[in-house]
């Protein structure tokens, strides 16, 4: 079957069925999983053309709920066409787009409709949207929920773009009041400004200089604020891209006290470490920063223990010029890492060595992100009645990340040259093959997903 084809039955010797991997056939009807037959050869009737993928592993498509698509307004950085193609190549079947760095940002209903219009006809995978909380837009919060955003994001520090200002304490209390009773969620970029002394002679081309400028205390103080708000208002709160393991104790204490709080970390914090970042290698810059190896080890332990709920890409691309690759100046470079296409392989390369099972990975990459977004009734699980969103991949196959295989608009990446384990063979969205063996469907058929009873729009 070619990309663009509709799959009605898929057979594999390795289908993730609950917490087991065994031979099975997935029957698909109307874009939904109708039945999962555990017999490897159930004698399907003539109506079915069976796609047999042999020994390749079949599991739910990944839900990446932290993606900066940047369209409209900054499509030289990325865009729906390239972002969702890259997602499909990496086994991601659903993305949730952040409210910045597009122009306009998703902070009003009018701006949201502008973004939806920009996405139409360009999405290779299903796409949903976060709204934004900024100073002065409190009257837009509930209308944005009705319009279909899955929740909201705010910054406690400068966001990096002028059109998405960070909130004050007063803004936060107002927003939390608006969100009470909605079952929506507020996502926090949890860093705040702290007083610090930085040596005047620090070399801006040394990564250590940048790391010193974003110490752990910036996250610790911000997360303390988040936990207090979460406990006070009992509104669902979510900490995005946790980098500092020092904050885990505060998060655990808040949850024990009854805070409806979740937390994510990213592939770059679990894969990269400060000790291995060369001078001038600005492709490694992100905010919060990549910290030391010992910190990374603690993040992995917390993930294994369930203290961190999910892992996402925080795909935040830009042009090579904005990365200051010519000067190698970390102070001036844009902070963001592109990894949407490689999340599955990045995670599995290390997780498989640390004793994580495939079911554990699916919980972290698929199920928990879907639950955060209230998409878990249709996404993230291999169950009858759910969307037939599947990734077919070989967990044992290795490949090298080269520019030629990168489908993001801008190819600059800290992962170039990395040898990763786990290669995607095919990605299926609602029963249709969107990607297979390096080829894509010629016509994108991803849907736009809205909140409230899982409404969808043809994209």
Which CATH number do you get for residue 148? 3.20.20.140
> Is residue 458 scored above 70 in pLDDT?
no
Domain assignment of residue 106, yes or no: yes
pLDDT tens-digit readout, 16-59:
988 999 999 999 999 999 999 986 555 555 567 899 999 999 99
pLDDT band at 431 (very low <50, low <70, confident <90, very high): very high
Domain assignment of residue 54, yes or no: no
- Taking a C-beta distance cutoff of 8 angstroms, is the pair 69, 97 a contact? yes
Q: State CA 47 to chain mean position distance.
A: 37
Mean per-residue pLDDT for 281-301? 98
Domain assignment of residue 18, yes or no: no
Residue 248 parent element (H or E): helix 248-256
| HSE toward the beta carbon, residue 317, CA cutoff 13 A | 28
* 57/38 Cα distance (integer angstroms): 14
pLDDT at 201: 76
Total domains in the chain come to 1
pLDDT tens-digit readout, 336-358:
999 999 999 999 999 999 999 99
Mean per-residue pLDDT for 303-312? 98
Render the burial of 252-272: b for 16+ CB within 10 Å, e for the rest. eebbeeebbbbbbbbbbbbbb
Give the angle subtended at the CA of 433 by the CAs of 432 and 435, to the nearest 5°.
Answer: 150
Which residue has 């039955």 as its token pair? 9
Q: In this structure, what DSSP letter does residue 408 have?
A: S
- Taking a C-beta distance cutoff of 8 angstroms, is the pair 154, 192 a contact? no
The neighbouring-strand residues paired with 64 are 95
Percentage of the chain modeled with pLDDT above 70: 95
* 73/121 Cα distance (integer angstroms): 17
pLDDT tens-digit readout, 189-224:
999 998 765 556 789 999 999 999 999 999 999 999
* 219/204 Cα distance (integer angstroms): 22
Residue 228 parent element (H or E): helix 216-233
* 227/237 Cα distance (integer angstroms): 8
Domain assignment of residue 388, yes or no: no
Q: In this structure, what DSSP letter does residue 143 have?
A: H
Q: State CA 261 to chain mean position distance.
A: 18
Q: In this structure, what DSSP letter does residue 365 have?
A: I
Distances (CA, A) of 20 to 17, 25, 358: 5, 14, 9
> Is residue 164 scored above 60 in pLDDT?
yes
pLDDT at 194: 86
Mean per-residue pLDDT for 163-190? 97
Query: What's the token pair of residue 374?
Result: 């209230």
Q: Which residues contact 46 (CB under 8 A, 6 or more apart)?
A: none
pLDDT at 200: 66
- Classified as helix, coil or strand, 367 is helix
> Is residue 459 scored above 80 in pLDDT?
no
pLDDT at 44: 56
Maximum distance among all Cα pairs of the chain, rounded to whole angstroms:
75
pLDDT tens-digit readout, 353-380:
999 999 999 999 999 999 999 999 999 9
Domain assignment of residue 200, yes or no: yes
Give the angle subtended at the CA of 144 by the CAs of 138 and 146, to the nearest 5°.
Answer: 125
pLDDT band at 452 (very low <50, low <70, confident <90, very high): low
Query: What's the token pair of residue 255?
Result: 């949850």
Cβ atoms within 10 Å, residue 288? 24
Determine the structural domain holding residue 104 and report its residue range: 60-383+395-423+432-440
pLDDT band at 457 (very low <50, low <70, confident <90, very high): very low
Cβ atoms within 10 Å, residue 192? 18
> Is residue 78 scored above 60 in pLDDT?
yes
Q: Which residues contact 170 (CB under 8 A, 6 or more apart)?
A: none
Domain assignment of residue 270, yes or no: yes
Helix ranges restricted to H, 69-215: 80-89, 109-119, 141-147, 169-179, 207-213
pLDDT at 451: 87
- Taking a C-beta distance cutoff of 8 angstroms, is the pair 288, 247 a contact? no
Mean pLDDT of the chain: 95
pLDDT at 198: 58
- Taking a C-beta distance cutoff of 8 angstroms, is the pair 261, 225 a contact? no
Percentage of the chain modeled with pLDDT above 90: 93
pLDDT tens-digit readout, 380-422:
999 999 999 999 999 999 999 999 999 999 999 999 999 999 9
Cβ atoms within 10 Å, residue 281? 17
Closest to 156 in 3D by CA, of 197, 186, 181: 186
> Is residue 254 scored above 80 in pLDDT?
yes
Which string of DSSP letters, residue by residue, matches 294-362? HHHHHHHHHHHTTSS-EEE--B----TTTTTTTTT-TTTS---B--GGGHHHHHHHHHTTTT--HHHHH
- Taking a C-beta distance cutoff of 8 angstroms, is the pair 407, 85 a contact? yes
Domain assignment of residue 399, yes or no: yes
Query: What's the token pair of residue 206?
Result: 């040394």
* 420/351 Cα distance (integer angstroms): 12
Domain assignment of residue 347, yes or no: yes
Closest to 308 in 3D by CA, of 356, 238, 258: 238
Closest to 246 in 3D by CA, of 200, 201, 283, 299: 299
């Amino acid at each position: 079957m070619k990309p663009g084809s509709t799959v009605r039955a898929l057979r594999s010797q390795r289908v993730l069925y609950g917490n087991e991997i065994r031979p099975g056939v997935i029957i698909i009807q109307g874009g939904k999983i109708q039945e999962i037959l555990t017999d490897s050869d159930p004698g399907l009737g003539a109506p079915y053309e069976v796609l047999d993928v042999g020994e390749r592993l079949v599991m739910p498509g990944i839900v990446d709920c932290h993606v900066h698509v940047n369209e409209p307004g900054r499509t030289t950085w990325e865009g729906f066409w390239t972002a969702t193609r890259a997602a499909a190549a990496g086994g991601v079947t659903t993305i949730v787009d952040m409210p910045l760095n597009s122009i306009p940002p998703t902070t009003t209903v009018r701006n949201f409709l502008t973004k939806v219009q920009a996405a139409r006809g360009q999405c290779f995978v299903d796409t949903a949207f976060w709204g934004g909380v900024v100073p002065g837009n409190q009257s837009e919060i509930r209308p944005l929920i009705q319009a279909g955003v899955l929740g909201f994001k705010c910054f406690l520090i400068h966001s990096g773009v002028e059109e998405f200002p960070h909130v004050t304490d007063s803004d936060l209390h107002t927003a939390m009041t608006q969100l009470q009773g909605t079952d929506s969620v507020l996502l926090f970029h949890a860093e705040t400004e702290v007083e610090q002394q930085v040596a005047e002679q620090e070399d801006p081309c040394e990564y250590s200089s940048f790391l010193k400028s974003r110490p752990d205390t910036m996250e610790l103080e911000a997360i303390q604020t988040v936990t207090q708000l979460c406990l006070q208002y009992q509104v669902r709160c979510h900490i995005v891209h946790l980098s500092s393991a020092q904050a885990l104790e505060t998060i655990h204490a808040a949850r024990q006290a009854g805070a409806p709080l979740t937390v994510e970390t990213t592939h770059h914090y679990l894969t990269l470490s400060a000790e291995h970042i060369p001078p001038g290698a600005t492709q490694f810059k992100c905010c919060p920063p990549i910290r030391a190896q010992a910190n990374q080890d603690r993040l992995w332990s917390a993930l294994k223990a369930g203290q961190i709920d999910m892992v996402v890409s925080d795909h935040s691309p830009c042009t090579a010029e904005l990365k200051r690759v010519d000067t190698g100046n970390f102070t001036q470079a844009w902070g963001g890492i592109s990894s949407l296409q490689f999340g599955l392989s990045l995670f599995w390369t290390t997780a498989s060595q640390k004793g994580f099972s495939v079911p554990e990975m699916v919980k972290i990459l698929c199920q928990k992100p879907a639950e955060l977004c209230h998409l878990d009734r249709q996404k993230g699980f291999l169950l009858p009645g759910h969307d037939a969103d599947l990734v077919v991949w070989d967990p044992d196959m290795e490949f090298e990340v080269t520019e030629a295989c990168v489908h993001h608009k801008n190819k600059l990446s800290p992962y170039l040259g990395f040898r990763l384990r786990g290669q995607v063979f095919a990605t299926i969205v609602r029963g249709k093959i969107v990607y297979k063996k390096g080829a894509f469907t010629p016509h994108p058929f991803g849907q736009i997903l809205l909140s409230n009873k899982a409404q969808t729009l043809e994209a």
